[in-house]
A = this chain, B = another copy of it.
Amino acid sequence: MRPESVRTVACVGAGVIGGGWVAHFLARGFDVTAWDPAPDTEERLHRLVEVAWPALEQLGLAPGASLDRLTVAPTLAQAVGDADFVQESAPEVLELKLDLLADLDAAVADGVVIASSTSGYPMTQMQQRCATPERLVVGHPFNPPYLVPLVEVAGGERTARKKVEWAADFYRSVGKEVITLGAEVPGFVANRLQEALWREALHMVASGEASVAQIDLAITAGPGLRWAFMGPCLTFHLAGGEGGMAHMLDHFAPALASPWTRLAAPELTGELRQRMVDGTRQEAAGRSFAELVADRDRHLIAVMQALAAVRGAASGVTPTAASGVEAAGPGA
């Protein structure tokens, strides 16, 4: 089956992530079947989807998309029997995942891809008890899956390469931004980056260096605004001025030795330097420093104005100084 021909998606697990996937696939116009061992699954899923639906309506539903196309099945086998694609979002407990994926593998039609929302287990570990492990992949979303585009796709040692590619194509066809991982690295990419920041935050709170509110403000009023549209590498490429990433690395290399976080830096070898320089040059895609600055500012203003508008609407007043985007003169 081609990814574009999928009609029915089965979602297994009715927690926040499972429910988010249900909302996403319903909004994209699919028939969705769902299952969870909890007795209140139907009620819980409807509540989760109804909370998400206004946002999805605002973004625009696919033709035919409807809440009525959700069927909560009484058994796992009934939920997945007719599925063209299966998204598993059970709790993050390895033993549970091992058994559940084996059960799914037995119940799902031949060749249909089964993706796990696991936020960290390598598929090689999870597919051990499956009879046909070649169609098992990781498809790790970010919360909420009905809005945040990122999905990290990875296979295990026994996964067929073409199934990994099929899953990536399928997610892209439903509006997702996909990273296909070459290596099975614990936590994948985004969670590793997020976890490094999170652990440093916990260290700072534990030592009394910063409060919870200061940590959150440090991100939302600072680098977080840029990260909504420009990743850390391209951000530092710009920090290097006209000299870009190469200048940044050469100039700030000593800072990597400074105790600015508890995370020790890697040795800045010539090879690592080159990878960073080549990678950011590709991302810059021929844009000059001035063009990148203009691009950044355009996006930054759009984000700040959009956030100010939401805050203004919520508070019933026009954007205030707290939004950081209004003008104020001396003595104003």
> Residues of A with Cβ closer than 8 Å to B?
4-7, 15-16, 27-30, 51-52, 55, 58-65, 92, 120, 142-144, 147-150, 152, 172-177, 179, 181-183, 185-187, 189-206, 208-234, 236, 238-239, 241, 255-256, 258-269, 271-272, 275-276, 278-280, 282-283, 290, 293-307, 309-310, 314, 321-322, 324-332
Q: Kindly list chain B residues whose C-beta atoms are within 8 Å of the C-beta of A299.
A: 307, 310
- Min C-beta distance of A70 to chain B, whole Å: 15
Asked if A327 and B28 make an inter-chain contact with CB atoms under 8 angstroms apart, the answer reads: yes
Q: A197-B197, A199-B256, A229-B307 are in contact. List 5 more A-B contacts (CB 8 A).
A: A92-B255, A182-B209, A193-B201, A199-B265, A206-B269
Asked if B215 and A6 make an inter-chain contact with CB atoms under 8 angstroms apart, the answer reads: no
* Centre residue among A221, A222, A324 by max chain B CB count within 10 A: A222
How long is the Cα–Cα vector from A234 to B213 in the complex, in angstroms?
Answer: 9
How long is the Cα–Cα vector from A205 to B183 in the complex, in angstroms?
Answer: 12
- Min C-beta distance of A287 to chain B, whole Å: 11
How long is the Cα–Cα vector from A129 to B199 in the complex, in angstroms?
Answer: 37
Query: What are the 5 A-B residue pairs with the smallest beta carbon separation, nearest first?
Result: A212-B279, A216-B231, A62-B329, A149-B324, A29-B329
- Min C-beta distance of A37 to chain B, whole Å: 18
* Centre residue among A144, A172, A303 by max chain B CB count within 10 A: A303
How long is the Cα–Cα vector from A290 to B51 in the complex, in angstroms?
Answer: 8
Q: Kindly list chain B residues whose C-beta atoms are within 8 Å of the C-beta of A280.
A: 212
- Min C-beta distance of A63 to chain B, whole Å: 5
Asked if A258 and B310 make an inter-chain contact with CB atoms under 8 angstroms apart, the answer reads: no
How long is the Cα–Cα vector from A208 to B262 in the complex, in angstroms?
Answer: 22
Q: Can you list 7 A-B contacts (CB < 8 A)?
A: A65-B327, A147-B297, A150-B218, A187-B258, A205-B275, A298-B310, A303-B303
Point out the residue from B59, B216, B297 that lies within 8 Å of A230, measured CB to CB: B216
- Smallest Cβ-Cβ distance to A203: which chain B residue: B266
Point out the residue from B174, B193, B303 that lies within 8 Å of A218, measured CB to CB: B193
How long is the Cα–Cα vector from A149 to B149 in the complex, in angstroms?
Answer: 27
Asked if B330 and A4 make an inter-chain contact with CB atoms under 8 angstroms apart, the answer reads: yes
Q: Kindly list chain B residues whose C-beta atoms are within 8 Å of the C-beta of A194.
A: 197, 222-223, 232
- Smallest Cβ-Cβ distance to A255: which chain B residue: B120
Asked if B324 and A176 make an inter-chain contact with CB atoms under 8 angstroms apart, the answer reads: yes
How long is the Cα–Cα vector from A213 to B230 in the complex, in angstroms?
Answer: 11
How long is the Cα–Cα vector from A278 to B283 in the complex, in angstroms?
Answer: 41
* Centre residue among A176, A187, A268, A327 by max chain B CB count within 10 A: A327
Q: Kindly list chain B residues whose C-beta atoms are within 8 Å of the C-beta of A256.
A: 199, 202
Asked if A5 and B331 make an inter-chain contact with CB atoms under 8 angstroms apart, the answer reads: yes
Asked if A328 and B28 make an inter-chain contact with CB atoms under 8 angstroms apart, the answer reads: yes
Known: A28-B328, A221-B149, A225-B148. A309 touches B303 (CB 8 A): no
Asked if A261 and B221 make an inter-chain contact with CB atoms under 8 angstroms apart, the answer reads: no
